[in-house]
Amino acid sequence: MNKTTKRRNAIIAALAGVALLLGGSTFALWSVQANLSGGTITAGNMDITPGETAVYDVSTDRIDLTDTISVTVEPGVSVDLTGAPKGELIADLASWRIVPGDTVAMVFPFELSLVGDNLVAALTIPGTDTLLGASTFSAVAGEGIRVEYQVFEADGTPQAARAAIPATDIAAGYFDTSSHEAVVTLVLYVTFDSISDDQGTASMDAVAELAETLTATLEQVRCDSPSASKFAVCS
């Protein structure tokens, strides 16, 4: 075998070795591990709980009314409704009889519970279309039963002045987790308006029925709350 042939064989053998290295071998690259701390994602919650209903005689021409309308926030803790009139507690509404010129205040507190960093909720309460039932009082405007309402904040201050209750649901405001737990109070003012002489006997023993259940709705929304501007403004 001459030198040329030996050289050619050596080159072929070297190339074959390179091919084996490229095709059949693997290289171990560095690899390290570290443990990362996990976590728990917990959902918030919201709830609405009705408080104890109370009824007061708040007739405007009575001069002996001394009771401040208040609601119980928790056992032993009450909040006075500073925008409500003075009254006298009616212990048993079923046995109390209204006469022309009288006004009663029906007090409905609701406790709101909100847990969630971005939780904003809207509270609505029913209007007359679901609140009021059958009535045998006079249907003449200004001569029958008139219902007004007022919503009070957790500190007892009114959201707005007393106003006629609308037919549809009432927007009672927006609440967020800055309040966390709050008592919102709805007061219905039911007035037996003065009547004309020819309606006097027709309205005696008349009855007006309120819904057996007053349903308040607390619903999550994505909008500005009274104390934080996180989301788009509520319409």
CA distance 222 to 230: 9
Tokens matching residue 80: 């006075």
Mean pLDDT of 125-134: 73
List the alpha helices (DSSP H) in the chain: 3-24, 128-131
Q: Return the residue matching tokens 């070297």.
A: 14
pLDDT interval class at 20 (50, 70, 90): very low
Q: Which of 23-32, 76-85, 90-99, 163-172 shows the lowest mean pLDDT across its residues?
A: 23-32
Mean pLDDT of 208-235: 68
Mean pLDDT of 95-121: 86
**pLDDT tens-digit series, residues 64-97:** 999 999 888 777 778 899 989 999 999 998 888 8
3-state SS track over 60-112: CCCCCCCECCEEEEECCEEEECCCCCCEEECCCHHHCCCCCCCEEEEEEEEEE
Cα 118 to its chain centre, rounded Å, is 14
Residue 235: what pLDDT? 54
CA distance 87 to 65: 5
Q: How far is CA 92 from CA 95, 108, 168, in A?
A: 6, 16, 29
Whole-prediction pTM value?
A: 0.73
Q: How far is CA 32 from CA 23, 28, 36, 37, 38, in A?
A: 27, 12, 13, 17, 19
Q: How far is CA 135 from CA 148, 206, 211, in A?
A: 16, 7, 12
Rounded to 5, what percent of the chain is helix, strand, coil?
A: 15, 35, 50
Residue 137: what pLDDT? 58
Nearest to 51 by CA among 74, 69, 67, 68: 74
Residue 147: what pLDDT? 84
